[in-house]
Amino acid sequence: MLKEETVSHNHNCEECPIRHRAVCARCETDELERLEEIKYYRSFEAGQTVIWSGDKMDFVGSVVSGIATLTQTMEDGRTQMVGLLLPSDFVGRPGREGSAYDVVATTDLVMCCFRKKPFEQMMERTPHIAQRLLEMTLDELDAAREWMLVLGRKTAREKIASLLSIIARRDASLNLRPTQGALVFDLPLTREAMADYLGLTLETVSRQISALKRDGVIHLEGKRHVTVPDFTRLMEEAGDDADGGMLA
Amino acid sequence: MLKEETVSHNHNCEECPIRHRAVCARCETDELERLEEIKYYRSFEAGQTVIWSGDKMDFVGSVVSGIATLTQTMEDGRTQMVGLLLPSDFVGRPGREGSAYDVVATTDLVMCCFRKKPFEQMMERTPHIAQRLLEMTLDELDAAREWMLVLGRKTAREKIASLLSIIARRDASLNLRPTQGALVFDLPLTREAMADYLGLTLETVSRQISALKRDGVIHLEGKRHVTVPDFTRLMEEAGDDADGGMLA
DNA sequence: TCGCGCGCTTGATCTGGGTCAAGGATGACC
DNA sequence: GGTCATCCTTGACCCAGATCAAGCGCGCGA
């Protein structure tokens, strides 16, 4: 099967693409040097599982490139995605042995990993890291709570529109593309993964995407390439205040 | 209308009932003394709003006694509860001006508050506070993600059972009541509040509670007083692994 | 003691999204 | 170029939970 590969040649932190957004964002040069000593890269192919729920995790790390998902599964197979990990997002929890979720690479994925023990020790000595991690965790908590509203109270159509607007927004902020005019991006998820994120079935996802296309809210090229001619319209379809800060 | 009251006589941190679970759990005596200088108590009556979403928050704090809820509301009135605040839980976010949610007291409530600015400054100088806050935030994130599974994938009956088991568990851990045998507790929420937590209507909540009663999973005295004769049975009804750690 | 309101229950009916089922498109590999 | 698998779409039907509606019971204020 697909074999995971540990990349040996260390990249330089200073020119890391996620340098300014990851856990290490606030670190000084000397702190970076110490981090560099305990870091290593790992690559995963699309579809590979990074960690299984319950497995012992001996590392924490950041997504450098690619996309991963955090999912929870019930005994009977029902699954719910509980997080979408984009570049700069943090994986793992200091101070906990096992992973609470399945982490799966949905695209080819590169992660910058730190061995957990040394990282935890560094955290104690390096407030910049703990501060940044707290800030990131609070942001994730906000995102999770926003998602609770989506899951609990929105219609299927609103759910799809919400997901599209989140992906569009994240994509735009990552690529620093100007927001005016049409937004264009690729869906990083299959219909099934979207369904798992939204608490729907893949059939409903497909139908609602078709409906949004029919109504001119989005435009599709192939199955994955999306154009949003009017972002405000999409926000309305999502049931959000149309003012919601475009610049995260 | 109900008037909020600022309690002036400061209680002593050392003998505070939430001393060992709140943000200050890790603080040394001297750190507590400094906290004590910037702290004050506020009381709210059942039904009062502590903060409105969007309002400027000039404090953060801990729930000392009573219960509050965190809710989000859409323009058309649909509302979703995104958090249940029990004694020792933290309210507010360092490093952010406004509140993202409505915070409402559902029972009479006492909070231990800190002015935000001084608290933020103390956090920088007192790693014990930041560490504890990170730990608590990570726990809340786990809870939010567990709730995403409930909202996205569980049936109405499973949702009710999940809520009951959470309340039972929290109640048991708070009151250090032994878990063996029947669990007994009072529901701190109206049917409507439960519906808002679970992404259901209050009618469905009522019907499912009646059904669980009819099936002997729970026993009701009045509308709020619940007896759970067999906790394992309740966990099964919730769709959870029956092993899920009883001792949080 | 009465009456009123709030929180709750229960019934009847409707409907959004799930389920089951049948293909269609695309791309990898032989 | 054909086969196969994966991902996606669309249709027909069904059901869990929403919606609409009526009424109960308890606590509180007059």
Q: Model confidence at A179, in pLDDT bands (50, 70, 90)?
A: low
Q: Report the candidate in A229, A172, A175, A166 with the shortest Cα–Cα distance to residue A194.
A: A166
- Can you tell me whether residue B146 is helix, strand or coil? helix
Cβ separation B152–A80 shorter than 8 A: yes
Q: Would you call A242 an interface residue with chain B, using a CB distance cutoff of 8 Å? A: no
Which residue has the closest alpha carbon to D9 C1'?
A206
Q: List CB contacts (< 8 A) between B101 and chain A.
A: 145
Average pLDDT over residues A194-198: 98
Domains and CATH numbers, chain B: 5-148 (2.60.120.10), 155-237 (1.10.10.10)
pLDDT of residue B113: 97
Look-up: residue for tokens 């992404």? B199
Residue A175 or residue A83, greater confidence: A83
Residue range A13-36, pLDDT digits in tens? 988 999 999 999 999 999 999 999
pLDDT of residue A14: 87
pLDDT of residue A247: 39
Q: Model confidence at A248, in pLDDT bands (50, 70, 90)?
A: very low
Q: List CB contacts (< 8 A) between A126 and chain B.
A: none
> What percent of chain B has a predicted confidence (pLDDT) above 90?
81
Average pLDDT over residues A206-226: 96
Cβ separation B74–A127 shorter than 8 A: no
pLDDT of residue B8: 44
Which residue has the closest alpha carbon to D26 C1'?
B222
Cβ separation A145–B95 shorter than 8 A: no
Angstrom distance (rounded) from CA A61 to CA A88: 9
Angstrom distance (rounded) from CA A130 to CA A135: 9
pLDDT of residue B40: 95
Query: What is chain B's mean pLDDT, rounded?
Result: 90
pLDDT of residue A1: 39
Cβ separation A74–B127 shorter than 8 A: no
List the beta strands (DSSP E) in chain B: 5-7, 39-44, 49-51, 59-65, 68-73, 79-85, 90-91, 102-105, 109-115, 183-186, 219-221, 225-228
Angstrom distance (rounded) from CA B169 to CA B234: 11
pLDDT of residue B182: 84
pLDDT of residue B178: 61
User: In the structure, how far is the CA atom of residue B233 from the C1' atom of nucleotide C11, in angstroms?
Assistant: 29
Min distance A92 CA to chain B CA atoms (Å): 10
Nucleotides of D under 7 A from a protein CB: 7-12, 16-21, 26
Q: Would you call A245 an interface residue with chain B, using a CB distance cutoff of 8 Å? A: no
Cβ separation B153–A101 shorter than 8 A: no
* Lowest model confidence (mean pLDDT) among A113-117, A147-151, B100-104, B171-175: B171-175
Instruction: Assess whether pLDDT exceeds 90 at residue A181.
Output: no
Please report which helix (H) or strand (E) contains residue A6, including its range.
strand A5-7
Q: What sign has the CA pseudo-torsion B61, B62, B65, B66?
A: positive
pLDDT of residue B14: 87
- Cβ-contact B73, B79 below 8 angstroms: yes
Angstrom distance (rounded) from CA A147 to CA A248: 16
Q: Model confidence at A2, in pLDDT bands (50, 70, 90)?
A: very low
Query: What is chain A's mean pLDDT, rounded?
Result: 90
Cβ separation B72–A145 shorter than 8 A: yes
CB-contacts to strand D (7 A): A 190-192, 202-203, 205-207, 209-210, 220, 223-224; B 155-157, 199-201, 203-204, 222
Counting one residue from chain A and one from chain B, the pairs whose CB atoms sit within 8 A come to 103
Angstrom distance (rounded) from CA B231 to CA A157: 38
Residue A219 or residue A242, greater confidence: A219
Angstrom distance (rounded) from CA B220 to CA B102: 31
Residue A183 or residue B145, greater confidence: B145
A140: tokens are 């994730």
Angstrom distance (rounded) from CA A22 to CA A228: 29
pLDDT tens series, chain B, 248 aa: 334 444 444 578 988 999 999 999 999 999 999 999 999 999 999 999 999 999 999 999 999 999 999 999 999 999 999 999 999 999 999 989 999 999 999 999 999 999 999 999 999 999 999 999 999 999 999 999 999 999 999 999 999 999 999 999 888 876 666 656 788 999 999 999 999 999 999 999 999 999 999 999 999 999 999 999 999 999 999 998 765 444 34
Average pLDDT over residues A213-229: 95
